[in-house]
Amino acid sequence: MAIAAIVASARVRAGKTLLARLLAENFLLSGGRPMLLDTDTTEKRLWSYFPVETQLLDMDRVTDQMTLFDMLSVGTAEPRIVEVAHRSSKKFFELMRDADYVREARANDIEPVVFYIPSPDADSFEYGRQLREQLAGCDFVVVQNSYLGEIKHMTRLSVGYRALEIVRPRIVLPALDPQFIPVIDIPSFSFREFMRDPGTELPQGARDTIRHWLVSCFRATYSAIETIERKVASIPASEPGNLT
């Protein structure tokens, strides 16, 4: 079984690329060779970190749409990660639903998982709630990016928030001190290489802070992946079931 991780959000700058990087590095550290797909052909942020492993695909082109879902469905043992650009989100998920992608993927021993990053506002949680209903039967992971700020009190009272609050597994990404954001945003900065050898270019305090943050992020993402894999393994092959 291979995971097809679909990283999405209702807003720009929510942390989609960060999450896609963490998932990719998790698989790489585990010996995997993930297929990476970037649907943002303008900023190409995921591609900038993994230019060799990443394929750029324009959701406004029918041929690229076909290529994207073919790569997400192909029956190989390697995981795949797609970062869904904000401007392409509606089209991507409509195609995913209309093509019955979840059923096709599972027939090829691939488990699709939507990793959704809500922002602190109620509209973002409501969009996530509707998306989860639209993709009924597809595993859904809510990712709280602490860097986006505290969730508002009124948001916590909303239908969307209450619907997503009970979804498991769940990922909480801690906030990194803003002064270190430019460091990890450099395209040549590799999370896994930093974990192996942080070097001496940064002060010791900075290295310790970034390493502690990365350890927390890796633990959170790995735990979610492991939970999904256990769920899938527990379901008999003749009973695809609903993992949500």
CATH code of residue 158: 3.40.50.300
The predicted pLDDT at position 237 comes to 60
Nearest to 84 by CA among 138, 45, 123: 45
Question: In whole angstroms, what is the distance from residue 205 CA to residue 22 CA?
Answer: 22
Whole-angstrom distance, CA of residue 29 vs CA of residue 208? 20
Residue 243 lies in a domain: no
pLDDT lower than 50: segments of the chain: 238-244
Check residue 78 and report its DSSP letter. Answer: S
Interacting residues of 111 by C-beta distance below 8 A, sequence separation 6+: 1, 2, 3, 4, 105, 139, 228, 232, 243
Residue 220: name the closest of 23, 8, 6 by CA.
Answer: 23
Domain assignment present for residue 241? The answer is no
What does the alpha-carbon distance between residue 74 and residue 56 come to, in Å, rounded to a whole number? Answer: 17
Structural domain including 92 reads: 2-234
Cα–Cα distance for residue pair 1/12, rounded to 1 Å: 31
What's the rounded Cα separation, in Å, for the pair 196 and 105? 34
Instruction: Check residue 1 and give its pLDDT.
Output: 86
The answer to the question of residue 222 being in a domain is yes
Alpha-carbon distance 5 to 3, whole Å?
Answer: 6
What is the model's pLDDT at position 238?
47
Total count of domains within the chain: 1
Tokens at residue 156, please?
A: 């916590």
The answer to whether residue 130 sits within a structural domain is: yes
pLDDT of residue 240: 47
| 3-state secondary structure at position 238 | coil
| pLDDT for res 40 | 96
